[in-house]
Structure formats: C-alpha cells, structure tokens
Copies of this chain bind each other. A is one copy, B any other.
Amino acid sequence: MKDLDIEITLSSKKKTIPPFDQLEFGRTFTDHMFIWDYTEGKGWHDPRIVPYQSIALDPAATVFHYGQTVFEGLKAYHTKDEQILLFRPDQNMKRLNRSNDRLCIPKIDEELALSALKQLIAVDRDWVPTVEGTSLYIRPFIIATEPHLGVEPARNYRFMIILSPVGAYYKEGINPVRIAVESDYVRAVAGGTGNAKTAGNYAASLKASESASENGYSQVLWLDGKERQYIEEVGSMNIFFKINGEVITPVLNGSILEGITRKSIIELLKYWNIPVVERKISIHEVQQAYNDGLLEEAFGTGTAAVISPIGELFWQNEKLAINNGEIGQLSKKLYDSLTGIQKGTEPDPFGWTLKL
C-alpha cells in the first residue's frame, strides 16, 4: 500500500475530549484535520494535517452557488485489545471517486487518500471513543473552491477529512423507528444524482423529513420519482424487507445510493445461506405482504446507524405495525454480527476490517 507524504502541524492547544458516554452525532470534532488542494494543471498537491480550524473561502467559491461537492462517511472502532479498526475504507474511497465522476470533480488516488485517513486518525487516536455503541465518525469531503459564478466545473478543489467521536445516530438507539411513506417529495430520479454522495441529495430531502417529523415520524420512505410506487431508500439509509422468509432490497437503479452497509448485509446473508434478492419492490407489494401476514421485518442500513429496525410504516392513512413494533430476530442478528465484526469482537471471515 502506498503512503502519502503529509506535512503535519500539531495543535499546540489540545481540546478537552468530551466524556464518551455523552456524545451527540457530529457536533464535536477532534484536534486535527486533513487538507489536500487541487489546482487545474497541477493536480492534487500540498497534503497536510493541521489543527482543526475554520477554512477561509472566497464568497464566490463554486461550492456555495452550484453545489459541486461530494463526501463519504465511515467509522473507526476501538477494540477491547486497544486496537483501532476501520470498516471497508477502500469501498468508501472507490465510491468517492464514483461520486467525483458524476459531479465533474477530479479523481483522487484512492490508496493515497486512505493513507491520509489513517495518518489523521493516528494523530487523533485518543479521540476514538471506547464506550459501547460509540465510534469515531470519519468525514472525507471535497468542495469546489474556485471563485467563479459561471455554471461549469471549477478549476480548484479542496479535499478534507474531519473526525467526530459519536454516540448512536438515533436517540432511540437500536429501537425500531417509525417511518412515513413520502407521497409529495422525491429524493432522486434515474439520470439525476441519487447514486452519488453529494450535498444536493440531502438538501432535497430536508423538507420531507421536516413534515414527517411534525407528524411524529423519524424518517421518510422514498418512492421512485417516475411511477411513485417503487421503494428506493429510507431517510438517508438503504432499506431491506423480510417477507415470507426471504430478504428483499431494492436493486441499484441509478437513483439509489450504493450503500457499503447494504452491500455488507447482502454478503453476510449469502454467507449465512439466508435467501436475499435485489429487485424492484413496490409499496403495494409491501402492503399486500403485510395484509397477508408475511411482512416479517424491515430495516434501514447505513454507516451512521448500521441497522435501524422499522417498527411502523405509515402509508395512505394506514399504520403498518411491523413485528409488533419490535426489533426482528434477523435485524438483531445482523446488527450484532456487523457491529461485532466492526468492533473486532466477532470473527471477520471477509477481511472487511483494516487495522490501523
């Protein structure tokens, strides 16, 4: 593996690390951050680790106006034997480059970016929390920095990595969440940016989440933008249903994000010989399965929450209570196995984890 030669400036004034049992999601950041600049004609240059600080940008920087930005999210876990594990970080770097391609952002060298990520965590390794359910959330992202109001790809970019020690994403923890099926708003459509991890997708989702939240639901279930019946994602997670013994997840169609947790769940189920299929699945089919008593479990998957069981689906004024609003056996088993692999308490037959 290649190493990136990084200039490191250590912080002279360390922050107080917050108590690991009181962490919120994404509000506290570590002592350092990584920066790598891109200049047209020169490529990516001056990789450096510096004290965590504000960045100065021209108010005309493209990112503010035309949203040319991509990001990733992954986690580092503290093991019982004092090691730090990353979960499939190579997959995040690959996806970052796929997002870059869609957003006309110059590609990064995936191995060098991963080297930067490892070096940054090594510098801030005291920030990887040790309490059950916590982890160090890692946010690599790229923004267009050129001050130019013409609608065209920028000539200058900045790649950064910031780190945040986090508790559980949902206050409910692993308890099931209540989800409202979204009928008015659409997250993404084929030909759009739905399968890229870019800011605009998340901005587009806020309004629907706000309405759902006002009605007591924590997330929305997104239907396809074309026929408004096929299930795409739940909030900012992928979704799985267990119907009559078979696990079904919407097939990647260009508007669904290619989740790394999603991919891992599919691989884990196949390894266990549990039937799993990627295909189109409509909300009508889910309702029919519910009516027939065959809808056994439903859960969202993502880096932030890992597995998020769905206890209730609200659709056309009807409440579908899944598994009596309790976490299903398979959801629980997947959560335990996946987080076990991530934290190094379970064997890792796939070689998914990377020791720092």
B184 lies within 8 A of A191 (CB): yes
A104 lies within 8 A of B25 (CB): no
A:50-92 near B, CB below 8 Å = 52, 54-60, 63-69, 71
Asked if A206 lies at the interface with its beta carbon under 8 angstroms from chain B, I say yes
CA distance A209 to B102 in the complex (A): 12
A148 lies within 8 A of B26 (CB): yes
Report how many copies the assembly holds. Answer: 2
A201 lies within 8 A of B200 (CB): yes
B207 lies within 8 A of A102 (CB): yes
**Within 8 Å CB of A104, what residues of B?**
206-207, 210
CA distance A69 to B64 in the complex (A): 7
Asked if A216 lies at the interface with its beta carbon under 8 angstroms from chain B, I say no
Nearest B residue to A66, CB-CB: B202
B57 lies within 8 A of A54 (CB): yes
**Within 8 Å CB of A318, what residues of B?**
none
Asked if A125 lies at the interface with its beta carbon under 8 angstroms from chain B, I say no
Asked if A225 lies at the interface with its beta carbon under 8 angstroms from chain B, I say yes
A192 lies within 8 A of B204 (CB): yes
A206 lies within 8 A of B153 (CB): yes
Most B C-beta atoms less than 10 A away, residue of A102, A141, A203: A203
**Within 8 Å CB of A239, what residues of B?**
none
For A202, give its contact among B55, B60, B151 (CB under 8 Å).
Answer: B151
The verdict on A151 contacting B209 (CB below 8 Å), with A203-B103, A225-B225 known, is yes
For A210, give its contact among B27, B153, B187 (CB under 8 Å).
Answer: B153
CA distance A33 to B191 in the complex (A): 37
B149 lies within 8 A of A206 (CB): no
CA distance A226 to B255 in the complex (A): 13
Nearest B residue to A200, CB-CB: B200
Asked if A119 lies at the interface with its beta carbon under 8 angstroms from chain B, I say no
Nearest B residue to A154, CB-CB: B206
B67 lies within 8 A of A202 (CB): yes
The verdict on A68 contacting B203 (CB below 8 Å), with A149-B26, A151-B209 known, is yes
Other 19 A-B pairs with CB < 8 A, given A151-B209, A191-B228:
A26-B150, A27-B147, A54-B57, A59-B162, A60-B139, A64-B71, A64-B143, A65-B71, A65-B202, A66-B202, A67-B67, A149-B164, A151-B205, A151-B206, A152-B206, A184-B191, A185-B192, A189-B192, A225-B225
A-side interface residues toward B, CB under 8 Å?
A: 25-27, 29, 33, 52, 54-60, 63-69, 71, 102-104, 137, 139, 141, 143, 147-153, 160, 162, 164, 169, 184-193, 198-207, 209-210, 225-226, 228, 235-236
Going nearest first, the 6 A-B pairs with the smallest beta carbon separation are A200-B200, A26-B149, A67-B199, A186-B191, A67-B203, A66-B202
